[in-house]
Structure 1
Amino acid sequence: MHPFVMATPSNIPLEFTVRRCEPELVTPAKPTPYEQKLVSDIDDQEAFRLHVPIFNFYQYEPSMEGKDPAEIIREALAQTLVCYYPFAGRLREGANGKLIVDCTGEGVMFIKADADVTLEQFGEPLLPPFPYLDQLLYDVPGSEGILNCPLLLVQVTRLKCGGFIFTLRLNHVMSDATGLAQFLFALGEMARGVATHLISPVWERHLLDARHPARITFTHREYDEVEAPVTTPITILPFDNPVQRSFSFGFAEVSLLRSLLPPHLHRCTTFELITACLWRCRTLAINLDPDEEVRMLCVVNACSKFNPSFPSGYYGNVIVLPAAVTTVKSLCEKPLGYAVELIKQAKASVTEEYVKSVAALTVARGKRIHFPNVIGTYIISDLTKAGFEDIDFGWGKAVFGGPMIAVGVISHLMPTKNKKGEVGIVTSVCLPAPVMERFAKELDMLKHQASEGKKSKSNSISSAL
């Protein structure tokens, strides 16, 4: 079972069988340069030495009748690897542990599969988590390492309704969500017969290297060495056997929650608002000592922070995770706007200099920087604009696209649509069962508070009239 398939299955009574062909290596369709490429100091941190899964669900498309999505994507993958040839290589460790991409052209792992299930059986609308994800992204023995292993693993599972599920596992050292989406758009172009890539790939990883000598110019609370709180109630442990639930936020709910904020925060982003709600409700649910510190790490894409502008086509990691830090008491007792302000301040702290400082910290600590994986830390990544659902292999856009699960202290915000076609946001939360119940109640109470507040305001206006 994959290390990220940690949760109990969803309540959908779904069982199916997957028949897989033998995994194969797909190599570039044409000869590619044999060379070694250094990753950046941002890529090189220990925090990114992990694999990230993506799941895209596609409906039956009558115009593609008789065409095999697995074979089309396999051929497109070989073509795409001509330009993105570093993905066909292997990571090695060089001097002082520096990671290097050895561009050997060995290829990426590819699996064809068939499942005796229809897309409709996964539920309407499609909402994570789903059971048996390890069948839709098979963990090929020996492929899960960071070094000397394929950098991508792709599986195409054909469904009996004519749709299919495209799954991918990425070595995070190579790319962040934006970089991966760029690669997948290129893959979609090749699958649809587009002759050239709309965006040409750019390596240029030296742009995110530390200066010489390295200078750490910020206090990076996101990399604090944090011990598990000694006051953690035994009822929320162990954290290694969690359950998952999805929580959706439609336009109406977001508007309601926004009404809890003071006027000067009404123009905060939807990410800032939902993140503040989730952070506050989660902290209330885990019931830590009031004086304990808790932190929210916000995943920020720093491309727009560079001057001159960052090169279009760069597909390495350009993300940093500034931390909003406060005490349990302050977060839970103060109004929701307090959490929003902390998150806004954390995001605003990111500059080009901040990114260089993270690179310097990576070098200074010998790559060994990682985020605290304790229950008082929460990480939320906004993938609502990453565009995974827009990847088109010829069968149209995905019905759902993105990570299917939350892992430990990490959640993702992803776009979703209801039966009416209305766009919303969904996130998966991963917590021990009793804590999950409290979290859901806290979130419902917050929504109820917003609803009652709006009714009260409306009644006051009516009375005044």
Structure 2
Amino acid sequence: MLSPPELPVCIYAEQPTLIPPSTSTPNETLYLSNLDDQKFLRFSIKYLYLFKKSVGVDILKKSLSRILVDYYPLAGRLRKSQQDHEDDDHKLEVECNGEGAVFVEAFMDIYADEFLRFSDKPNRSWRKLLYRVEAQSFFDIPPLVIQVTNLRCGGMILCTAINHCLCDGIGTSQFLRAWAHITTNNNADLPIIPFHSRHVLKPQEINSEITFTNPGFTKNTLLDNINIINRYYRSQLLIPSSLTFTSSHILHLKRQCTPMLKCTTFEIVASHTWRAWVKSLDLSPSLHVKLLFSVNIRKRLNPEMPQGYYGNGFVLACAETTVKELVSANLHSGVKLVQRAKSSVTDEYVRSVENLLEDKTVKTDLSASLVISQWSKLGLEDLDFGQGKPLHMGPITGDIYCLFLPVIGDFDAVRVLVSMPENVVDKFEYYMNAFSDWEVNGEADGDICVERKDFT
């Protein structure tokens, strides 16, 4: 088994520069919705792209400056709302001042093929590939930070950090694809015009009564025995686990539900992953566990959200059951829980969440929950700045959140990436491979692509 190499030192060609919009942009304050302003979104989404051939840095800077005219809030700065709050949970807003995105050029003495060999899981040395902005707090970090690292072979690694309070996964994909489009078609129009206003998600009746309790949120700060999962995670070294489900694997999973139940790839893989996660942690049978997963609400509202909306246009759906009910039942039952949670996301549900989040003591319940974020169907892997599509696309760092990632060259496949405590990662991967009625070409379990390299 090959050990991952420590990446060489990143050599910076020059000091970080600020790339402002190429022409004047509105000087205004951008309101952020309650969905944007959630505390669990106060971080940057960090993407890593590996390209076989590099693109000139001056070309990338010029096109970035041009696209920031259209996406001018990303050239602004996050700040606490000017409205007074009596507590510390300040609402956020964006000062659209055209200050610019942080852009860094670097060189690393490594070949693209070397990096690709170990690209299935992030490791700590990858953090060298994204410039760390020295800041007092999250508020002081610019919404957009970019590092372009040229490689020995003539390839490049492009890393981006985009503030999650401004964009969700669909929004970041929309921005990055627009940037690539302008890079290769300098005078072309954008395929999608960004829609900036977040007032379409502003609570209509701020003081209205919440019509139902949402299981995905809590007001408790101490959750007693349920908090055991978080304590368990904090006490262990976390190891990224990466498993690729091909279309063949997914078909065999689905056959465990048909003809009684039709389901999507996401529903079947999410249910299977949730069960494997719960089984591997060896939890009390009576413990209530949750699966939280993002649901795009752009077409679920009445009226539908405007095209080009790139803010946080999702809510977390919540499937909930006991450990005993989840692990003892068949996969069919887990899929039904996921489908029921997804179907509950209606216009009324979303409006109720907006109102619920007016109470700043309400937080997403992460205590006994697996959180899945879907990156695999956003078109993130199709980025082309003029020298071809990426050899690899994924996160820079591992996390306890579970990511469903695209597989380069296979649109129907899904790569599941999640960090697990060191002493249970093997058990988790065993359960992920444990397909009932699994048979491919006469061979039994274990056909999923799993490589246990200790990326820590």
TM-score normalized by the length of structure 1: 0.87
Identity %: 31
Structure-1 separation of matches of 2:36 and 2:227: 35
2:328 is aligned with 1:333: yes
Q: Which residue matches 2:451?
A: none
- Aligned AA for 2:240? Q
Structure-1 separation of matches of 2:248 and 2:31: 47
- Aligned AA for 1:412? L
2:255 is aligned with 1:259: yes
Q: Which residue matches 1:383?
A: 375
Q: How does 1:167-182 map to 2 (within 5 A)?
A: 167-182=159-174
Query: Cα distance, 1:433 vs. partner?
Result: 1.0
Deviations 1:32-70 (A, max 9, x none): 121112111221222222222111111127xxxxx52x2
Q: How does 1:331-410 map to 2 (within 5 A)?
A: 331-363=326-358, 365-366=359-360, 368-374=361-367, 376-408=368-400, 410=401
Deviations 1:16-42 (A, max 9, x none): 221123212111111112111211122
2:401 is aligned with 1:414: no
Q: Which residue matches 1:211?
A: 204
Query: Cα distance, 1:454 vs. partner?
Result: 10
Query: Cα distance, 1:403 vs. partner?
Result: 2.2
2:439 is aligned with 1:444: no
Alpha carbons of structure 1 residues 292 and 80: separation in structure 2 relative to 1, 3 Å: same
Structure-2 separation of matches of 1:91 and 1:30: 21
Alpha carbons of structure 1 residues 175 and 15: separation in structure 2 relative to 1, 3 Å: closer
Cα contact 2:131–2:146 (8 A) shared by 1? no
Q: Which residue matches 2:245?
A: 249
Alpha carbons of structure 1 residues 59 and 346: separation in structure 2 relative to 1, 3 Å: same
Query: Cα distance, 1:307 vs. partner?
Result: 2.7
Alpha carbons of structure 1 residues 353 and 454: separation in structure 2 relative to 1, 3 Å: farther
2:290 is aligned with 1:295: yes
Structure-1 separation of matches of 2:224 and 2:268: 27
Alpha carbons of structure 1 residues 290 and 454: separation in structure 2 relative to 1, 3 Å: farther
2:216 is aligned with 1:222: yes
Of 69, 78, 86, the residue aligned with 1:91 is 78
Q: Which residue matches 1:6?
A: none
- Aligned AA for 1:24? T
**Which one has a larger percent helix, Structure 1 or Structure 2?**
1
Greater Cα shift, 92-101 or 171-180: 92-101
Alpha carbons of structure 1 residues 214 and 450: separation in structure 2 relative to 1, 3 Å: farther
- Aligned AA for 2:94? V
Query: Cα distance, 1:274 vs. partner?
Result: 0.6
Of 121, 125, 128, the residue aligned with 1:128 is 121
Structure-1 separation of matches of 2:334 and 2:441: 21
Query: Cα distance, 1:14 vs. partner?
Result: 4.9
Q: Which residue matches 1:162?
A: 154
Cα contact 1:90–1:101 (8 A) shared by 2? yes
What SS class does the counterpart of residue 450 from structure 1 fall into?
coil
Query: Cα distance, 1:191 vs. partner?
Result: 1.1
Structure-2 separation of matches of 1:233 and 1:349: 27
Alpha carbons of structure 1 residues 55 and 444: separation in structure 2 relative to 1, 3 Å: same
Q: How does 1:36-47 map to 2 (within 5 A)?
A: 36-47=29-40
Query: Cα distance, 1:362 vs. partner?
Result: 1.0
Query: Cα distance, 1:370 vs. partner?
Result: 2.8
Alpha carbons of structure 1 residues 89 and 237: separation in structure 2 relative to 1, 3 Å: closer
Query: Cα distance, 1:193 vs. partner?
Result: 2.8
Structure 2, gaps ≥5 residues long: 444-456
Q: Which residue matches 1:114?
A: 107
Alpha carbons of structure 1 residues 309 and 160: separation in structure 2 relative to 1, 3 Å: same
Query: Cα distance, 1:262 vs. partner?
Result: 4.4
Of 5, 8, 19, the residue aligned with 2:11 is 19
Deviations 1:419-448 (A, max 9, x none): xx6852112111111111111111222x2x
Greater Cα shift, 20-29 or 341-350: 20-29
Alpha carbons of structure 1 residues 311 and 262: separation in structure 2 relative to 1, 3 Å: same
Structure 1, gaps ≥5 residues long: 1-9, 62-66, 457-465
Structure-1 separation of matches of 2:71 and 2:269: 35
What SS class does the counterpart of residue 305 from structure 1 fall into?
coil
Deviations 1:264-289 (A, max 9, x none): 22x30101111111100110000011
What SS class does the counterpart of residue 355 from structure 1 fall into?
helix
What SS class does the counterpart of residue 133 from structure 2 fall into?
coil
Q: Which residue matches 2:450?
A: none
Alpha carbons of structure 1 residues 84 and 422: separation in structure 2 relative to 1, 3 Å: closer
Structure-2 separation of matches of 1:250 and 1:280: 19
Query: Cα distance, 1:79 vs. partner?
Result: 0.8
Alpha carbons of structure 1 residues 359 and 282: separation in structure 2 relative to 1, 3 Å: same
Alpha carbons of structure 1 residues 52 and 422: separation in structure 2 relative to 1, 3 Å: closer
Q: Which residue matches 1:5?
A: none
2:72 is aligned with 1:72: no
What SS class does the counterpart of residue 229 from structure 1 fall into?
helix
Alpha carbons of structure 1 residues 453 and 187: separation in structure 2 relative to 1, 3 Å: closer
- Aligned AA for 1:229? N
Of 31, 34, 37, the residue aligned with 2:27 is 34
User: What CA RMSD, in Å, does the superposition of the two structures yield over aligned residues?
Assistant: 2.5
Cα contact 2:195–2:308 (8 A) shared by 1? yes
Structure-2 separation of matches of 1:248 and 1:134: 24
What SS class does the counterpart of residue 263 from structure 1 fall into?
coil
What SS class does the counterpart of residue 304 from structure 1 fall into?
coil
Q: Which residue matches 1:315?
A: 310
Structure-1 separation of matches of 2:94 and 2:392: 32
Alpha carbons of structure 1 residues 121 and 329: separation in structure 2 relative to 1, 3 Å: same
Structure-1 separation of matches of 2:233 and 2:181: 47
Structure-2 separation of matches of 1:74 and 1:150: 17
Structure-1 separation of matches of 2:212 and 2:191: 37
Alpha carbons of structure 1 residues 354 and 422: separation in structure 2 relative to 1, 3 Å: closer
Cα contact 1:405–1:428 (8 A) shared by 2? no
